[in-house]
C-alpha cells in the first residue's frame, strides 16, 4: 500500500458529499430532516407531510398537503402490464426482487421517465411514492391466492396500504403507529442504499434506475433485511425465559444479533427509543406483553455483555409483527417509506451533479512478464 494513500474499510468516516436533506448527529442524539427534529415529526405529522418536506424543502401548508395527497392518491394504480407481470412471477419470489422488477418496469410507463429536469424528477418521485405500496400489496395477495384490492383514494397513504393488504380499513391507533414507522424510516443520510442511488444518478441516469439500484442495495440483511431477521430471531427465542441463554449462546458462537449496532450511532439509534415506547404502548393496548418482554430481555443482555444498543430495526420488527404484518414484507415496507428520502437525494444529486468516481488502492502484482498462449 502506498504511504500517501489511506483506506477506510466500508468508507467509514469518509465524507462523500454535501446534502441539505438530513443530518444524523449521534453526539447529541439528534436526527433532523431538513432542520426538523425527528421526534417532532414522528409525533405530529403524517407521512405525506414528511414526504413533502423531503421533496420540497419545507413542511406543507394545509392547501399544499391536500394537493400533494391528491396527487399521490390519483397515482396509486399500476399499469396493467405491471399487474400481469406480478401474476406471472413464481409465487415464492422474494418480495424485494419483485419490488425491484416492478419499479424498473414502471419506467416504461412513466411519461416523464427520460426527462431530467427538477420538476420532472419531483413528479416521478410522487408517482413512485404512490405506486410502490401498490406493487407490494398486489404481489403479496397474488402470491397468496387472493385478488388484489384496488387502492382507495379517500384514504391516507398509511391507511391505504393496510387496506390494500388485508381489505380492512385500520383503526386510528393502528394507522398512527404504522404511519410513525413510515416517518422514522423515510430518510437517514448517506446510508448504503441512498448512496447507491446517488452513485447511479451521478452518471446522469434516470430516477427509476437510481431507485432500482437503491432497492437492490436495501435487500441485504445488513441493511434493510435486518428487521425481518430480527423478528425471526425473536420467534426462535420464543419466551422471555429463553432470551438470556439464547443471546449468550449466540454471543459465544459469534453469531450476529440482528437489530443491534449501527455504523453511525454508538450510544443508541435516535429512532429506537421512539419505537420502543410505541411497542410498549402496543403491548399494553393488545393486553399481551410477550414480545415486549422478550425484546427487553434481549436488549438488557446485549447492553450488559457487549454495550451495544438496538437500532431502528429491532423495535420495528415486533411492532410490525404485533400489527399482523407479514414478515416477508418488512423490508419492502422499509423501501415504501425510504422512497421519499431516496428520491430527495436523487433530485439533489441531479440538481448539482458531479460524477461520483472514487479511487482505489491497488495491491496486486506490480509487474508480470507476458507469456504467449502457446508457451503457457
Q: Does some domain include residue 190?
A: yes
| DSSP string covering 214-235 | HHHHHTSTTTTTHHHHHHHHHH
Q: Are 108 and 206 members of one domain?
A: yes
Q: Does the pLDDT of residue 1 top 60, yes or no?
A: no
Q: Does some domain include residue 174?
A: yes
Q: Does some domain include residue 282?
A: yes
**What's the domain count of the chain?**
2
Q: Are 74 and 123 members of one domain?
A: yes
Q: Are 71 and 194 members of one domain?
A: yes
Q: Picking from 85-94, 245-254, 262-271, which range would have the lowest pLDDT averaged per residue?
A: 262-271
pTM here?
0.93
CA distance 318 to 219: 19
Catalytic residue chosen out of the listed positions 97, 152, 223, 293: 223
- pLDDT tier at 337, thresholds 50, 70, 90: very high
Q: Are 332 and 304 members of one domain?
A: no
Name the 3-class secondary structure at 311: coil
Query: Count of H helices and E strands in the chain?
Result: 16, 3
> Cell numbers of 106, please?
414502471
Q: Are 64 and 165 members of one domain?
A: yes
CATH of the domain at 161: 1.10.580.10
Strand segments (E) across 51-92: none
313 is catalytic: yes
- Structural domain ending residue among the three candidates 322, 337, 365: 322
Provide the domain limits for residue 75.
19-220+327-351
The candidate with the shortest Cα–Cα distance to 177, out of 284, 256, 85, is 284
Which strand (E) or helix (H) includes residue 33?
A: strand 30-33
Q: Are 279 and 345 members of one domain?
A: no
Q: Are 153 and 73 members of one domain?
A: yes
Q: Does some domain include residue 90?
A: yes
* pLDDT score for 6: 82
Q: Does some domain include residue 5?
A: no
Q: Does some domain include residue 52?
A: yes
Q: Are 65 and 141 members of one domain?
A: yes
Could you tell me if residue 336 is left (phi over 0), alpha (psi between -120 and 50 degrees) or otherwise beta? alpha
Q: Does some domain include residue 336?
A: yes
Give the model confidence (pLDDT) of 184-236 as tens digits: 999 999 999 999 999 999 999 999 999 999 999 999 877 888 899 999 999 99
208 is catalytic: no
Interaxial angle between packed helices 240-252 and 290-306, expressed in degrees from 0 to 180 and rounded to the nearest 10: 30
Are 207 and 125 in contact by the 8 Å Cβ rule? The answer is yes
Are 336 and 136 in contact by the 8 Å Cβ rule? The answer is yes
- Structural domain ending residue among the three candidates 322, 340, 364: 322
Q: Are 255 and 334 members of one domain?
A: no
Q: Are 26 and 71 members of one domain?
A: yes
152 is catalytic: no
CA distance 245 to 22: 39
Are 163 and 169 in contact by the 8 Å Cβ rule? The answer is yes
Q: Does some domain include residue 365?
A: no
Q: Are 207 and 236 members of one domain?
A: no
- Structural domain ending residue among the three candidates 322, 337, 369: 322
Give the model confidence (pLDDT) of 102-154 as tens digits: 999 999 999 999 999 999 999 999 999 999 999 999 999 999 999 999 999 99
CATH of the domain at 292: 1.10.230.10
Q: Are 183 and 278 members of one domain?
A: no
Catalytic residue chosen out of the listed positions 179, 262, 269, 345: 262
Amino acid at each position: 500500500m502506498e504511504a500517501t494513500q489511506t483506506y477506510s474499510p466500508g468508507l467509514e468516516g469518509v465524507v462523500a458529499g454535501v446534502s441539505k436533506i438530513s443530518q444524523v448527529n449521534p453526539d447529541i442524539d439528534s436526527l433532523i430532516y431538513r432542520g426538523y427534529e425527528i421526534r417532532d415529526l414522528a409525533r405530529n405529522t403524517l407521512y405525506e407531510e414528511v414526504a413533502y418536506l423531503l421533496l420540497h424543502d419545507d413542511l406543507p401548508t394545509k392547501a399544499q398537503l391536500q394537493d400533494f395527497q391528491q396527487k399521490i392518491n390519483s397515482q396509486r394504480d399500476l399499469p396493467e402490464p405491471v399487474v400481469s407481470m406480478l401474476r406471472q412471477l413464481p409465487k415464492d419470489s422474494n418480495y424485494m426482487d419483485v419490488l425491484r422488477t416492478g419499479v424498473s418496469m414502471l419506467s416504461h410507463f412513466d411519461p416523464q421517465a427520460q426527462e431530467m429536469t427538477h420538476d420532472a424528477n419531483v413528479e416521478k418521485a410522487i408517482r413512485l411514492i404512490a405506486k410502490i405500496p401498490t406493487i407490494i400489496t398486489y404481489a403479496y395477495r397474488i402470491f397468496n391466492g387472493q385478488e388484489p384490492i384496488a387502492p382507495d383514494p379517500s384514504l391516507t397513504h398509511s391507511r391505504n396500504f393496510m387496506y390494500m393488504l388485508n381489505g380492512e380499513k385500520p383503526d386510528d391507533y393502528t394507522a398512527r403507529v404504522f404511519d410513525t414507522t413510515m416517518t422514522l424510516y423515510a430518510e437517514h443520510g448517506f446510508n448504503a442504499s441512498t448512496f447507491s442511488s446517488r452513485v447511479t444518478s451521478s452518471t446522469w441516469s434516470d430516477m427509476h434506475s437510481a431507485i432500482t439500484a437503491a432497492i437492490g442495495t436495501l435487500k441485504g440483511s445488513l441493511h434493510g433485511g435486518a428487521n425481518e431477521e430480527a423478528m425471526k430471531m425473536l420467534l426462535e427465542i420464543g419466551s422471555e425465559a429463553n432470551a438470556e441463554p439464547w443471546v449468550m449462546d449466540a454471543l459465544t458462537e459469534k453469531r450476529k444479533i440482528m437489530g443491534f449496532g449501527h455504523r453511525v450511532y454508538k450510544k443508541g439509534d435516535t429512532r429506537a427509543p421512539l419505537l420502543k415506547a410505541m411497542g410498549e404502548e402496543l403491548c399494553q393496548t393488545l393486553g399481551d406483553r410477550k414480545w415486549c418482554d422478550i425484546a427487553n430481555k434481549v436488549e438488557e443482555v446485549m447492553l450488559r455483555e457487549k454495550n451495544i444498543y438496538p437500532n431502528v430495526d429491532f423495535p420495528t420488527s415486533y411492532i410490525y409483527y404485533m400489527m399482523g404484518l407479514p414478515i416477508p414484507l418488512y423490508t419492502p415496507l422499509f423501501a415504501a417509506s425510504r422512497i421519499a428520502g431516496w428520491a430527495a437525494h436523487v433530485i439533489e444529486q441531479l440538481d448539482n451533479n458531479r460524477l461520483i468516481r472514487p479511487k482505489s488502492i491497488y495491491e496486486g502484482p506490480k509487474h508480470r512478464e507476458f507469456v504467449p498462449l502457446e508457451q503457457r
